[in-house]
Amino acid sequence: MTRNPRAKDYAALAAFRYAMRKFLRFSKDMLAHRGGLTPEQYEVLLAIKSCSGSNGTTVGYLSERLQVKHHTAVSLLDKLATRKMIVRKRASEDRRQVNVKLTRRGDTLLARLAESHRREMRRRSPEMIEALKRLRK
């Protein structure tokens, strides 16, 4: 049985979204200033780093992780490749498949940016967790 949200539910939803917005504002500004990246480009680097095997990961996997169309993922990868943050290579077993890996340059930048994000998440997480707890009641 579903019920209509109560006033406290709306307040918790608003509090969570507000906390997320503050974090996302921090992220967007920091990425532009310290990395010259968009949030989407940062998400690509994170997805590659967190989910890559020895051959890297695929464009299809990245488009799923980012919840974007294949051509949008390709466009993001093109921009990162131009900046020498990633490399692409056709898979030897299936030439239609393209594997993507971070370069040393991409890995170094990602490490710096991820550490800043981790610190900020630690700072902001109590506010987000509290809002989520309120929603579970």
2 in a domain, yes or no?
no
* The pTM of the whole model exceeds 0.85: yes
Tokens of 84: 């020498």
In one-letter notation, the amino acid at residue 132 is L
Per-10-residue mean pLDDT, the chain, length 137: 83 94 97 96 96 82 94 96 94 77 96 97 94 87
127 in a domain, yes or no?
yes
1 in a domain, yes or no?
no
Could you tell me what percent of the chain has a pLDDT over 70? 96
62 in a domain, yes or no?
yes
89 in a domain, yes or no?
yes
How many Å apart are CA 64 and CA 110, to the nearest integer? 20
Number of domains into which the chain is organized:
1
Q: Which domain holds residue 129?
A: 7-136
What pLDDT, in 10s, does the model give residues 19-40? 999 999 999 999 999 999 999 9
Q: Tokens 């509090």 label which residue?
A: 15
CATH of the domain at 64: 1.10.10.10
35 in a domain, yes or no?
yes
Q: Tell me, rounded to whole angstroms, the distance of Cα 118 from its chain centroid.
A: 12
With a CB cutoff of 8 Å and minimum separation 6, the contacts of 58 are: 91, 97, 98, 99, 100
